[in-house]
Structure 1
Amino acid sequence: MAFVDQKGQFLACIALSTVLIIDTGHAMTQIQFANPLGAKGWRVSRNPIRCGLSLTIPNFGIAYFEQYAAQPPHFIIRTWNEVQQYLPAKIIIKSPNWKPDRPAVLAGELMVKPGEFGIYLKRDASLKLLTFLSQGYEPNFSYRAETGFNTLVALSPVGFQKPYSRYQECIGSLLPFDYEQVRESVFHYKEDGSELSDKDKDQLRRIARYAEADAQINELRIIGYADANGRKGYNNAVSENRARIVEKYLLHLGVPKKILHVTWVGELYPVARNDTDVGRAANRRVVITLIKK
């Protein structure tokens, strides 16, 4: 039941804060961080491109599970204080309160590394943590701090079920594509043509959905081009018509006119030679770019 391999595939960054627990039978001091009973617990943040399930750990940082559209899930602890060197750490799973007779389980070993987002678990380890929490188990990250104190960071399972259900619902509603799949699109045309293919329309629907979902999108740029197989004025008109048809379709899909920036350049800026059929076909195009703030 390992989360990480012995090579430290998953790295952690953890820091110190408060709550000293002195074991009088040993000479070791332990610092423990946990979300106390009665404090605000797990929270869900959601939109069509990102789902988050987070827990604030007082005096330490924020732990959160996160998944973006078309991407695998991961787990991060964002610490408010950062370590300055690599430190060995362990993942320990404690049994639920209703199973006190079961001992804690060592689930994996990892390395603590410097950086604000040092604890970073990939898909499989994140899903295992979610499973443990959903069953009432308490995952803990344990390590020896740079000051010599043993440090324990706990993820409380208290009040986890309802936020977890909302988080799962959010994941089921994520867009099936991400920004990189719509960031820049290029449509090509037959000679003198300007009509959109079914494939082009499908991509425009994806572009419109993403532009609506991501509040960081502040411009959708459309540029029409032509080959050099006609007079300059004709080529300018053809490139304008291509760009305008794309604009019209996006407006039909509900994209706000204020974010559309439409232009055309005729036969300027070719991407290939205009003395071959293949080159001219490459130059007959419209380029659509989604631009973030």
Structure 2
Amino acid sequence: MRQHYLALLSVFASLPAMALTFQTRLENIEWKVDGDQFECRLTQPITDFGSGEFVRRAGEQATFRLKAYNGSLGAGSATLLAAAAPWQPGRGDINLGAVRAGSGDVLFNSSQAQAGRLFTGLLEGRSPTVRHYGRDGGYSEIRLLPIKFNKAYNDYQVCTTKLLPMNYDQVKQTEVGFPGGGIELDAAAKKKLDVILAFMKADPTVNHVELNGHSDNSGNRLTNRDLSRRRALAVMDYFKANGIQESQITMRFHGESYPLAPNTNAANRARNRRVNIQLERVAAPEKPAPQATGPSNPAHTS
């Protein structure tokens, strides 16, 4: 009996580790498209797992991410594939490289290049697939299917046409230059300011602007300080003319004190003639709660 038991153990030990596959049934496949001016998402729910999602933020290209209900794939490495569909015999999988899987709601974010290749693969009938290898030698496979993809992809493309030119991380610190040495805003500066204005109008939580004016060292300190002030004023006036209240703007000017580059040649001096713009989300002060007032007690006379 003991020899028979050991023989069975030997057989099981020689079998390959089992793979666990997460994939939605064909008849239940759906793609969801949603978004706004700041972000567009193209998502396929994955039964008993979570979802696979393409996300494109304003000002960026899309990335692909995997979200899980249980928050973790466990320890191990993961490989991203544009896998051939089961109904396409003879086509090999395309290995798009390793991804770093972590814990939490979002298990990983692909690179923009990887997401672009996944889009191409889906349009060719391939499946975005994540193969996660555990320490025990087994692996999990999470697979999206290209069913109904083309219509959803067209809707997603429509969403992306409405994205703002930049996202908050890109627009919150901006620099406009005065390469000609004067105080007038040129076309390039106005274009940058128009992007900021569009973002502030789309996101009213961004409600404060800090302006810092600078100059090169061509003149004396008093002249340079005044030039930096007038450049900051030019930016402030442009914002005010386009609907930003003066109370939302803080203005400072520093003359030649903070150069970006040594004032040793014309190109460096042109870089130093600038206004730095920083956007902030400033919470409105809470209003004090009104004090309760009861009816007055008239004086009692006898």
Q: TM-score range by the shorter chain?
A: 0.5 to 0.7
Which residue of the partner structure matches residue 14 of structure 1? none
| Residue 260 (str. 1) matches residue 248 (str. 2) | yes
Greater RCO, 1 or 2 (C-alpha within 8 Å, sep 6+): 1
Assess if the C-alpha contact under 8 Å between 1:224 and 1:286 holds in 2: yes
CA distance in 2, matches of 1:114, 1:47: 28
- SS of aligned partner of 2:84: strand
| Structure 2 letter corresponding to 1:223 | N
2:146 to 148, 157, 180: 157
The alpha-carbon distance between structure 1 residues 122 and 107, as it changes in their structure 2 partners (threshold 3 A), is farther
- SS of aligned partner of 1:153: strand
| Structure 2 letter corresponding to 1:103 | P
Which residue of the partner structure matches residue 186 of structure 1? 176
CA distance in 1, matches of 2:40, 2:78: 30
Assess if the C-alpha contact under 8 Å between 1:91 and 1:142 holds in 2: no
| Deviation at residue 47 of structure 1 after TM alignment | 3.3
| Structure 2 letter corresponding to 1:86 | S
Which residue of the partner structure matches residue 271 of structure 1? 259
Which residue of the partner structure matches residue 115 of structure 1? 102
The alpha-carbon distance between structure 1 residues 144 and 90, as it changes in their structure 2 partners (threshold 3 A), is farther
Which residue of the partner structure matches residue 72 of structure 2? 81
Counterparts of 1:109-258 in structure 2, within 5 Å, are: 109=95, 110-111=97-98, 113-116=100-103, 120-134=109-123, 137-176=126-165, 179-180=169-170, 183-188=173-178, 193-213=182-202, 217-225=206-214, 229=219, 239-254=228-243, 256-257=244-245
CA distance in 2, matches of 1:103, 1:150: 23
Using the TM superposition, name which of 161-170 and 268-277 deviates more.
268-277
RMSD: 4.3
- SS of aligned partner of 1:62: strand
- SS of aligned partner of 1:106: coil
Assess if the C-alpha contact under 8 Å between 1:93 and 1:139 holds in 2: no
The alpha-carbon distance between structure 1 residues 243 and 104, as it changes in their structure 2 partners (threshold 3 A), is same
State the TM-score, normalizing by the size of structure 1.
0.65
Assess if the C-alpha contact under 8 Å between 2:82 and 2:127 holds in 1: no
Q: Which has the higher helix share?
A: 2
- SS of aligned partner of 1:127: helix
Which residue of the partner structure matches residue 106 of structure 1? 92
| Structure 1 letter corresponding to 2:173 | R
CA distance in 2, matches of 1:106, 1:119: 24
Which residue of the partner structure matches residue 92 of structure 1? 83
How many residues matched?
260
| Deviation at residue 81 of structure 1 after TM alignment | 0.9
**Ranges in structure 2 where 5+ consecutive residues have no aligned partner:** 1-14, 283-302
The alpha-carbon distance between structure 1 residues 148 and 215, as it changes in their structure 2 partners (threshold 3 A), is farther
| Deviation at residue 87 of structure 1 after TM alignment | 5.4
CA distance in 2, matches of 1:163, 1:127: 16
Assess if the C-alpha contact under 8 Å between 1:91 and 1:106 holds in 2: no
The C-alpha deviation readout for 1:163-214, integer Å capped at 9, x for no partner, is: 32121122334445565477221333766x4322222222212222343456
CA distance in 2, matches of 1:198, 1:112: 42
**Ranges in structure 1 where 5+ consecutive residues have no aligned partner:** 1-25
Which residue of the partner structure matches residue 68 of structure 1? 57
The alpha-carbon distance between structure 1 residues 93 and 266, as it changes in their structure 2 partners (threshold 3 A), is closer
| Deviation at residue 91 of structure 1 after TM alignment | 5.0
The C-alpha deviation readout for 1:94-142, integer Å capped at 9, x for no partner, is: 14xxxx5x42743134446442466554455433433443455544434
Assess if the C-alpha contact under 8 Å between 1:89 and 1:142 holds in 2: yes
| Deviation at residue 147 of structure 1 after TM alignment | 4.7
| Deviation at residue 155 of structure 1 after TM alignment | 0.5
The C-alpha deviation readout for 1:3-58, integer Å capped at 9, x for no partner, is: xxxxxxxxxxxxxxxxxxxxxxx876442212356768322233344332122324
- SS of aligned partner of 1:269: coil
Assess if the C-alpha contact under 8 Å between 1:94 and 1:104 holds in 2: no
